[in-house]
Structure 1
Amino acid sequence: MWRNSLSFSSKLSHYNSSYSVSLLRTSPKPSYHGLLGRSSSTSPQSTSAGDTVKWSDAGPGIVNFGAHAASASTADVSSLAASSVLKAKDVADLAKHYGRCYWELSKARLSMLVVATSGTGYILGSSSSVDYLGLCCTCAGTMMVAASANSLNQVFEVNNDAKMKRTRHRPLPSGRLTVPHAITWASSVGVAGTALLACEANMLAAGLAASNLFLYAFVYTPLKQIHPVNTWVGAIVGAIPPLLGWAAASGQISLNGMILPAALYFWQLPHFMALAYLCRKDYADGGFRMFSLADASGQRTASVALRNCLYLLPLGYLAYDWGITSGWFCVESTLLALAISGTAASFYMNRTAKTARRMFHASLLYLPVFMSGLLVHRLSDSEQSMPVEKSHKFVELLPSLESGVDNSEHFPQRKYRCEVVGAQACPPVAYASVAPFPFLPAPAYVSS
């Protein structure tokens, strides 16, 4: 009986140990932190040596579970980081794409040339001190308006540009940008540039900018497909930006401010005549009515270029005569005009692509050198007013000279001669004896 009870108890103990093993194997594993709190001495052991189960046996499984969780979280973090990097890269690529499209749509290099002429006009129209904040605002407004005009030009000529080898890779013909997108861009920068000029410069400058935008986009652009006179209209468009800069600085349009616009007008004709001669086939394919297409021999094209180069010759003298620059600019401008006229004469005598390209390169060199000379040799307001003050001073002296009043403070040499002669009064000097040479002292007379 006792043996039976003993065997029964051993069987029960064996059953419990087997049940606990199966329970440990099938039940969810305890938390990692709970296992760390237990000591190995308290680990339960079964009465059977073969079925010994320790908590430490479950430890590696728990640790592996934590490692899997850590690796999963690391994978999630890395995937999130990778996705964020991809998103940042996509945003950067998108910004780069649109930036390049806007750059090409605005013809940025041509717009920067327009800004350079406007900035030069601003400096020439300023007084002795230049308002650099106003200069920056004027240049920024001019840049935006020029970008708007060039963008609208490409919107209207998208079909023509697609036919020309030189322009078929622009954003609109190539499909990199849609026409509504380009119109939105052009309208935005055009309005912003005009508003900036109106707020930071004056309404005259803003009006000139808006007028030039309209003239370029809505008159010159469609006229390119109608009549060859478009080149002369385009020359007017190019002559307005320096006048805009002058008006932004001085608040008015004066005769002195016409030197640089006149130079730009005459300069553009040989420049574009050379370009039209070199790209005749492209312009014909695009459907543009350029002057060179109606001139098979190129003689009339070369004649127009040479004539307008010769018109550049007197501009340096006029700038000096009107008190805008010093006499050195007169010499430099004349030599520069003779140089570009020489290339135009060469093109007139031998109408080839080589001579046309030489004249085109000379025109690229002429404009920056001419504007640099204007800035280097320009006279300030005080220097410009000195000849005027001297002439007014001489006119004021004439009545006193005719009336015999002593003007020794104006003519110290005359005072010295009068003192040498003695007490004899000096007779009055006639106007004719002084007028041709107002800078010379009046002669002294000694009675015999």
Structure 2
Amino acid sequence: MATVAPNPIARCTGRRNEAMATTTIAPSTAAPITTASDPAPRGASFSAASAATATARDIHSHHIGSVYYEPVVGAAGAGSTASMSSVTTSPASTVVEPSESARPRAMTTWSTLAKARLSALVVFTTAAGYLVAPSADRGWEQFLGTVGGTALAAASAAILNQFAEIRRDAKMERTRNRPLPAGHVAPALALVVGLLAAYAGVSMVAFFGNLLASAMTLGTIAVYVLLYTPLKPRTTLNTLVGAVTGATPPMIGWAAATGALEPGAWVLGGILFVWQIPHFFALAWLYREDYRRGGFAMLPVLDEQGRITAETVLLTSLLLVPLSLLATMFGVAGWWYAAGSVVLGCWLCLQAWRFWRRRDDSTARAVFVGSIVYLPLLLVLLVIDRGAVTPLAAVRGGFTVETSGSAPLADSPSSLDPRAVERATRPRLDSSPR
């Protein structure tokens, strides 16, 4: 008798039908299991398919902080499926209710909305400005209150900026999965939270710091939201306006510690201002097509060949070397810092030169990463070697006060500016705990 070979297609089809008959979409304890003998209503199949499609789309999203739904893999029969939540099945309708793991994580959502990494940079630069400023009347309460207030202020500026750019962010691949364009946070709620964070941040800086630092904090938020944000789609000069807001945090920290904006504060602000040009131009080069879709007037978008962009990146990187040395000249830091700043500056200039020679994504990314490495290391050196020498720190009224960490040396103390003498004799933060 002839032997008939089994049909592989029929066998696979049979297994698939068996798997479909026994596979369920995460049923709740009260819901019946869908089987071949008890077919699910048409609405249930559509809801389950929609849920699985939405899950797959969110899982494959590449944007940081945008993966809010997790797959639940379970084997039933010969197959497995990704499921969301519990499914309540009734003859009339099917309701898909998201489980706890399927809901957007609140912490991830709000940290993304507040741009946590950018806010952390603001906190870091504010802390550096506070710590290197010469002042005796300060303590950890004032320090923590000041940096906490600036953190809230930075978060508020980020939230209000995204509130104003919902439509443009939705057009960009890099930003379309942010909480507002993705619909994870209601715009009205974001607006209220942003305004409350601004009020709380400015109030904290005023309470723990002083009115000067508080006014600078409020001004920074206003310039970022009311000037920089509207200028982004209109002119390439928006980067310079945005760089002003990025330069103020160390000056706010300095003002909170001393109550004044002395030359050292302006040096720190100048370093931060110039640093942002190669940093953001390199980023804009990497995402120039995205910025074009969003309608933003960034220089790398309009400069199609990239020549002006590369030249600007190189020149501003070179400018950072002498500018960082001003911190030593004005007595903010010592010579160890000066040597380290030259090494870091030359290394960043090398990355900028490579980008100038070959304008592509790899060299632009090297500049961007190099700028991220450069700034924290520079500020750490600044804090460690703060005030070691003060060649120009106490020049007042034609007299120079030379300090060695404790007392001024001068021909006639009565002829010196009392403020210079008082600053020269102030103890360090670590020697005057409150």
Distance 1:335 1:129 in 2: 35
> Is it true that 1:232 corresponds to 2:240 in the alignment?
yes
More RCO (CA 8 Å, sep 6+): 2
1:100: Cα distance to partner? 2.6
* 1:318-359 deviations in Å (ceiling 9; x for gaps): 222212211111111111111101111111111111111111
Find 2:170's aligned residue among 129, 141, 162: 162
Counterpart of 1:306 in structure 2 is 314
> Is it true that 1:318 corresponds to 2:331 in the alignment?
no
Letter in 1 for 2:301: L
Equivalence map 1:53-202=2 (5 Å): 97-127=105-135, 131-202=139-210
* 1:350-380 deviations in Å (ceiling 9; x for gaps): 1111111111110010000000010010027
Structure of larger gyration radius: 1
Contact kept in structure 2, 1:128 and 1:381, CA below 8 Å: no
Counterpart of 2:260 in structure 1 is 252
- Output the TM-score relative to the length of structure 2: 0.67
* 1:16-35 deviations in Å (ceiling 9; x for gaps): xxxxxxxxxxxxxxxxxxxx
Rate the CA distance shift 1:93–1:277 in 2: closer, same or farther, 3 A.
same
Rate the CA distance shift 1:329–1:128 in 2: closer, same or farther, 3 A.
farther
Find 2:401's aligned residue among 368, 388, 396: 388
What's the secondary structure of 2:105's corresponding residue?
Answer: helix
Give the unaligned 5+ runs of structure 2: 1-97, 414-434
1:130: Cα distance to partner? 5.3
1:136: Cα distance to partner? 0.3
1:160: Cα distance to partner? 0.5
1:385: Cα distance to partner? 6.5
Letter in 1 for 2:291: Y
* 1:251-304 deviations in Å (ceiling 9; x for gaps): 010111122211111110000110011101100011111011111110100111
* 1:399-424 deviations in Å (ceiling 9; x for gaps): xxxxxxxxxxxxxxxxxxxxxxxxxx
Equivalence map 1:22-41=2 (5 Å): none
Letter in 2 for 1:388: V
Find 2:375's aligned residue among 359, 367, 373: 367
Counterpart of 1:46 in structure 2 is none
Rate the CA distance shift 1:183–1:294 in 2: closer, same or farther, 3 A.
same
Counterpart of 1:351 in structure 2 is 359
Find 1:329's aligned residue among 333, 337, 341: 337
Counterpart of 2:386 in structure 1 is 378
Point out the structure with the larger helix share.
Answer: 1
Counterpart of 2:45 in structure 1 is none
1:97: Cα distance to partner? 3.4
Rate the CA distance shift 1:371–1:382 in 2: closer, same or farther, 3 A.
closer
Distance 1:225 1:154 in 2: 14
Letter in 1 for 2:223: L
**Equivalences, count:** 308
Percent same amino acid at aligned positions?
37
Give the unaligned 5+ runs of structure 1: 1-89, 398-448
Contact kept in structure 2, 1:320 and 1:329, CA below 8 Å: yes
Contact kept in structure 2, 1:298 and 1:351, CA below 8 Å: yes
